[in-house]
Amino acid sequence: MYKITWDKETGGVLLHSRIVDGTLGTSPRPVFWEELDLLKLNELGWKYPHCEEPLLWAINKQYWYRGELVFEVKGANIYDEATVVFQPRKEALKLKPVNVKKMLENCKEYMFLLESEAIEFIHETYIQYAGSRKSVQSVAANQLDYEALAARAEKKSKTKMAIVKEDCDSFEIVPLDKAEEQGRKIYQTTKIDKFLASFSGGKDSQVVLDLCTRAIPSTDFEVIYSDTGYELPPSLFLYEDVQKHYKELYPDLKFSVARNHESVLNYWDKIGTPSDTHRWCCSIMKTAPLYRGLKQDGTNKQAKVLTFDGVRAEESVKRGAYMRVGKGKHTTITNAHPIINWNAVEIFLYLFKHDLPINEAYRYGKARVGCLICPFSTAWDDMIASKRYGTELKPFTERLVAWSKDSKIGKVDEFIKERRWKIKAIGNTDLVKTAVSFSDANNSFTATVKNPLHSVYEWLPALCEYTVEQKDNVDKGSLRFDGNVYDFHLKYEKEKNQYIFVVENPSAQLSFLLRRVIYKSAYCVHCEVCEVDCPTGALSIVPNVYIDKTKCIHCHKCLNSHDLGCISADCVRMIKNMNNNEETKIQGYKTFGFREEWLQEYLVDPEYFWKSNSLGTAQVDGFKAWLKDAEINDSKNKLTRFGELLQQIYVDDTNLTWELILTNLSYNSFIVNWFVNNIKIGQEYDRKILEGMINEQGYSSKGKTVANAVAALIQTFDYSPIGDTLNMSMNTDGKNNVRGGYEEITKAGLAYSLYKYAEKKGVHSLRVSDFYNDECTSGPFRVLGISKQVFNNTLKALNSANNRVLIAELAMGLDSITLREDLNSISCLESLL
Ligand code: SF4
Ligand code: SF4
């Protein structure tokens, strides 16, 4: 929240209410002697005490002592130690600890304001929702489900609605803008059964817990620690310490631990690894056990809870967009974020000020404390985990190695140390033997399900009421859905262990929900995630799926709780599709490249183009695939907003047009992504070399798939400016090609590339040097091949432009880039055009 500068006097930091000379663009983290020992600074000649206080500060991989950059680290990963690169004359420093007491004294006023505001927010939120709970109990009219009423009104009026409270203590639904205009308090829900402070072992949740104890009576909230099963060992110890500390102060404060009924390794074995597009572990191991543990006594009904959590905007663009009180992932959860605007320094200052214990993992250099292995952490985190907690990490890395080999991934060591497993979910699950296929031919819905885990009748009660008569191998019945009756029949083919389920003339909605019933029946591994979404307590998952027909209101929340209706089905799709996707994308272009002349013809009049164009039929298919991967067209082959923007620029600005296209292709096209990550600047190649390299890396392909993809890529280089203007293909001797660097990047091209990268990573703070790391697999250097000097110069131009889309701090050894939270890749481009 406050601006930060170094404080040479204390060796710490100072807070300011506005930007002053020397303001840091990124919040630093304190560095302790344990991290320096881990980096072997003691063996390299540095002297420092083994003390409680921090010794210096780090911003990403740069280390600062009393306002001066003293060294950087490079190259750490799960297998390799970090290399320390000293600044000149900093090879043998003698460090004094930060004077924490003085630093706190200097920051006293700002910390007081920050804490008071957060405590007031927690207190007011508690009073507001505890008050609504009382109103619901005392005023009969308030028993109504106001959330459902607001949702219905919203659907009808197509206007955002809000729940507000009247003077007479009853609630009302009004348009949100009107409520805001009148300055009225908005309620996310009227019924809160419990207040929680969620605890994760990390610094942010520790601060929120402490603030809650200062704002809410200890009898009125609970602390729940979600143990995911692959917690860092010190987080478990910290939980014990924290519990002891507060129990002494507030004996009636309730603490508990939430765990899934199965171990995380069992889930890895059943549904494969989590990946950064599908972090199932958060839902299955963390949130579902937490909220499932809050069932109301005697009923199976989910309690409605308001959780005070440690979400902070600094951590990602997405989090920055959160409202301070909003609906959570599950329908029964409301989240409040008391420290949403705090920065990391303020969090640490709070911990120092209140003498709260610091998780050991921070002392060893972790910037965020999460699980032992996580798709969202970094190679640096892997290094710390493997050095400090190697025994606990081993079962996971063993599986990564074994499954990478099973998936025929070449160079397994690199695949793991470069963390490519986080993009490519892998696994060795029996569930891949389960196969589901659907057909909507002849006005019938037909599902063919092979090797299902469960009977379809386990989940059918959630859909609607039904009757069924079972005879021999065929069941006949009818579904009562949405006021209509639909006949169905189900035929078992025992020898194939499969069944065929047919429903006649279903509505679109019925057909959609039937697919979900089928997916759940085929793939359910009893993870319990969808049980949390059931509002009536009708659904139980463990030990077996059971839907209490007397309680089920057919709200379909359990069927809509996840993509495909089931997290397990979605995981299996990811593992199965990984190769299939590559296959499809490799095959999609046939042998045709992305030609500039076709694009020009298309952009002149996209609608007319599909009626009449100069392309052959096979070329049209290839071109459609390129348009989709370049994000010019959507999956329905319609021009996107990005495509509309290209229409404005392609005639006058060739460089920008193809910089943008190449950036998009690098994320969506297997062959382009492979090329930019495997062929270095200055490297020679020809068609055969590329084919050989791809095959060596074990990408599955049938027949001429790889050869065709390479042909399409080479054609793209030959027939579009990607080859000779962006220098992907510089023809040296008439035979071999060389990938060249590119120095003519446009400002808009660089800004778009940065926003796109940030969107994919979920961050808005970046560093120039990170793009030149071996680990970086996208961004302006890897994709467009621009040098650091050109990168910096273009950043400076963007930084000083009138319509500034980013802040670049490049002086004094800094190389940080902060993107605007109100822009994304498209709006940034719009603003620059
Ligand atoms: S979520 Fe809705 S449809 Fe599913 S079991 Fe519960 S009440 Fe029934
Ligand atoms: S149906 Fe899917 S999401 Fe629901 S409990 Fe089973 S595995 Fe989990």
| pLDDT at 349 exceeding the cut of 80 | yes
The Cα 348–Cα 31 span in angstroms is: 11
pLDDT band (50, 70, 90) for residue 265: very high
Residues in Cβ contact with 693 at an 8 Å cutoff, skipping those fewer than 6 apart? 678
| pLDDT at 343 exceeding the cut of 60 | yes
The Cα 830–Cα 642 span in angstroms is: 9
pLDDT at 222: 95
* DSSP one-letter string for 549-612: TTT-----TTTTSSGGG-HHHHHHHHHHHHHHHHHHHHHHTTT----HHHHHHHHH-HHHHHHS
Give the number of the ligand closest to the Cα of residue 332: 1
More confident residue, 167 or 178: 178
Average pLDDT score over residue span 60-74:
93
Instruction: Check if 547 has its Cβ closer than 6 Å to any atom of ligand 2.
Output: no
Portion of the chain with pLDDT greater than 70, in percent = 94
| pLDDT at 741 exceeding the cut of 60 | yes
pLDDT band (50, 70, 90) for residue 320: very low
pLDDT digits (tens, 9 = 90+) for 401-418: 998 888 777 788 888 888
| pLDDT at 732 exceeding the cut of 80 | no
| pLDDT at 51 exceeding the cut of 50 | yes
| pLDDT at 777 exceeding the cut of 90 | no
Q: 504 to each of 460, 477, 500, 530, 696, how far by Cα in Å?
A: 16, 11, 13, 28, 49
pLDDT digits (tens, 9 = 90+) for 446-475: 999 999 999 999 999 999 999 999 888 899
Lowest mean pLDDT among 178-182, 417-421, 587-591: 587-591
Lowest mean pLDDT among 201-205, 636-640, 672-676, 764-768: 764-768
Lowest mean pLDDT among 136-150, 262-276, 579-593, 789-803: 579-593
Structure tokens at 640: 């996107």
Q: How far apart are the first and last CA of the chain?
A: 32
The Cα 305–Cα 299 span in angstroms is: 16
Average pLDDT score over residue span 527-545:
92
pLDDT at 326: 87
The partner residues of 195 in beta bridges, in order of sequence, read: 306
The Cα 796–Cα 692 span in angstroms is: 41
The Cα 362–Cα 582 span in angstroms is: 39
pLDDT at 699: 57
CB 371 within 8 A of CB 227: no
Instruction: Check if 726 has its Cβ closer than 6 Å to any atom of ligand 2.
Output: no
Label residue 229 left, alpha or beta by phi (over 0 means left) and psi (-120 to 50 means alpha): left
- If one residue of 558, 561, 566 were mutated to test the ligand 1 pocket, choosing by the most ligand atoms within 8 A of its CB, it would be 558
The Cα 674–Cα 690 span in angstroms is: 10
Average pLDDT score over residue span 506-535:
91
* 524 C-alpha to ligand 2 centroid (Å): 5
Residue appearing with tokens 């104890």: 213
Average pLDDT score over residue span 237-255:
95
pLDDT band (50, 70, 90) for residue 331: confident
Residue appearing with tokens 């399409």: 712
* 566 C-alpha to ligand 2 centroid (Å): 5
Which residues are near ligand 1 (CB < 6 Å)? 462, 533-534, 536, 538-539, 547, 552-558
Give the number of the ligand closest to the Cα of residue 516: 2
* 481 C-alpha to ligand 2 centroid (Å): 23
Indicate the burial class of 720 (C-beta count within 10 angstroms; 0-12, 13-18, 19 or more). Answer: buried
Name the 3-class secondary structure at 228: coil
| pLDDT at 425 exceeding the cut of 50 | yes
Looking at residue 204, what DSSP letter applies? Answer: H
pLDDT at 587: 60
Lowest mean pLDDT among 11-15, 525-529, 704-708: 704-708
pLDDT at 166: 79
Q: 34 to each of 60, 347, 359, 378, 388, how far by Cα in Å?
A: 17, 20, 12, 19, 11
Average pLDDT score over residue span 224-251:
94
CB 175 within 8 A of CB 160: yes
* 493 C-alpha to ligand 2 centroid (Å): 25
- Nearest Cα residue to atom 7 of ligand 2: 524
The Cα 137–Cα 785 span in angstroms is: 65
Average pLDDT score over residue span 200-207:
94
The Cα 372–Cα 265 span in angstroms is: 12
- Nearest Cα residue to atom 2 of ligand 1: 555
- Nearest Cα residue to atom 4 of ligand 2: 530
Q: Mean pLDDT highest for which of 326-330, 485-489, 666-670?
A: 485-489
Looking at residue 185, what DSSP letter applies? Answer: P
For the chain, the average pLDDT equals 88
pLDDT band (50, 70, 90) for residue 318: very low
pTM of the model: 0.69
pLDDT at 778: 86
More confident residue, 292 or 520: 520
CB 347 within 8 A of CB 204: yes
CB 808 within 8 A of CB 817: yes
- Whether cis (ω within 30° of 0) applies to the bond prior to 461 is no
| pLDDT at 591 exceeding the cut of 70 | yes
CB 732 within 8 A of CB 738: yes
| pLDDT at 193 exceeding the cut of 60 | yes
Q: How many residues are given for the chain?
A: 833
Strand order in the sheet with 730-731: 684-685, 737-738, 730-731
The Cα 339–Cα 121 span in angstroms is: 10
- If one residue of 283, 515, 528 were mutated to test the ligand 2 pocket, choosing by the most ligand atoms within 8 A of its CB, it would be 528
pLDDT at 581: 43
Bridge pairing between strands 305-308 and 194-199: parallel
Residues in Cβ contact with 655 at an 8 Å cutoff, skipping those fewer than 6 apart? 721, 725, 726, 744, 745, 746, 749
CB 739 within 8 A of CB 680: yes
CB 585 within 8 A of CB 694: no
Residues in Cβ contact with 51 at an 8 Å cutoff, skipping those fewer than 6 apart? 33, 97
* 274 C-alpha to ligand 2 centroid (Å): 16
pLDDT at 735: 64
pLDDT band (50, 70, 90) for residue 733: low
- Nearest Cα residue to atom 8 of ligand 1: 552
* 431 C-alpha to ligand 2 centroid (Å): 13
pLDDT digits (tens, 9 = 90+) for 669-704: 989 998 998 888 888 888 888 887 776 555 545 557
| pLDDT at 627 exceeding the cut of 50 | yes
| pLDDT at 492 exceeding the cut of 60 | yes
pLDDT at 702: 52
More confident residue, 154 or 742: 742
Residue appearing with tokens 């209509």: 484
Q: Render the burial of 60-85: b for 16+ CB within 10 Å, e for the rest.
A: bbbbbbbeeebbbbebbbbeeebebe
Name the 3-class secondary structure at 322: coil
pLDDT band (50, 70, 90) for residue 489: very high
Q: Is the dihedral of CA 502, 503, 505, 510 positive or negative?
A: negative
Instruction: Check if 524 has its Cβ closer than 6 Å to any atom of ligand 2.
Output: yes
| pLDDT at 442 exceeding the cut of 50 | yes
- Nearest Cα residue to atom 6 of ligand 2: 524
The Cα 330–Cα 313 span in angstroms is: 21
* 68 C-alpha to ligand 1 centroid (Å): 60
| pLDDT at 15 exceeding the cut of 90 | yes
* 460 C-alpha to ligand 1 centroid (Å): 11
Residue appearing with tokens 């996208």: 778
* 530 C-alpha to ligand 2 centroid (Å): 6
pLDDT band (50, 70, 90) for residue 96: very high
